[in-house]
Amino acid sequence: MCENCQKSDLSKLTPILEEFSGDKYALISILQKAQEIYGYLPTDVIYEIAEKTSVSPAKVMGVATFYTQFRLQPIGKNLIMLCKGTACHVNGADSIERALIEELGIEDGGTTEDGLFSLKTVACLGCCSLSPVMMINEDTYGSLTPEKAKEIVRNIRLESK
């Protein structure tokens, strides 16, 4: 077990581990469900999954870090996913990213101090006809300009007060 890990309520994992007991191909599914519970994958959860599935902690961590869907740190209330795919890149995603960094005061992968926003660039959101595009939680915003991106973030900030 992990010596210096945070202390998560590991009992929440029990139903998931029971559901996939004996399925040696279920690691991704287990990690997905664990992330749904905790909002990210705390280190002690990684170690618990490793122990209960008889998979090395290094392999569990390897899977968790390979797939971009998994997070090892808590995220803000509003996850901004900015597309950096070809169409978005050609249509100005870099300027959108600079505007968001300026507005939020965080870099890619960061979370604002108030916990309201996290910023993550992604390879593709599959909305090329809307490029440049970002998603905030489940909402998609397309045909962005730097000012439009800042305005969207400001409006969400105002609605959260």
Residue 123: CB atoms within 10 Å: 10
Pick from 38, 40, 19: which is nearest to 29 by CA? 19
Residues 6+ apart with CB under 8 A from 109: 118, 119, 120
Alpha-carbon torsion 116, 118, 127, 148, what sign? Answer: positive
Model confidence band, residue 68 (pLDDT cutoffs 50, 70, 90): confident
Supply the pLDDT for residue 161. 83
One fold for 10-66 and 78-159: no
Longest dimension (CA), the chain: 52
Model confidence band, residue 15 (pLDDT cutoffs 50, 70, 90): very high
Q: Which helix (H) or strand (E) holds 48?
A: helix 43-53
Which runs of consecutive H residues, i.e. helices, occur in 3-42? 14-19, 27-38
- For the segment 47-54, the average pLDDT, to the nearest whole number, is 94
Class of domain 10-66: mainly alpha
Residue 79 has pLDDT above 90, yes or no: yes
Supply the pLDDT for residue 22. 84
Supply the pLDDT for residue 120. 94
Answer for the pair 50, 60: CB distance below 8 angstroms, yes or no: yes
DSSP 138: T
Model confidence band, residue 4 (pLDDT cutoffs 50, 70, 90): low
Residue 2 has pLDDT above 70, yes or no: no
Pick from 71, 72, 73, 28: which is nearest to 53 by CA? 28
Each domain of the chain, given as residue ranges in start order, spans: 10-66, 78-159
What CATH code would you report for 78-159? 3.40.30.10
CB contact burial 20-57 (16+ within 10 A = b; e otherwise): beeeeebbeebbebbbeebeebbebbbbbbbbbbebeb
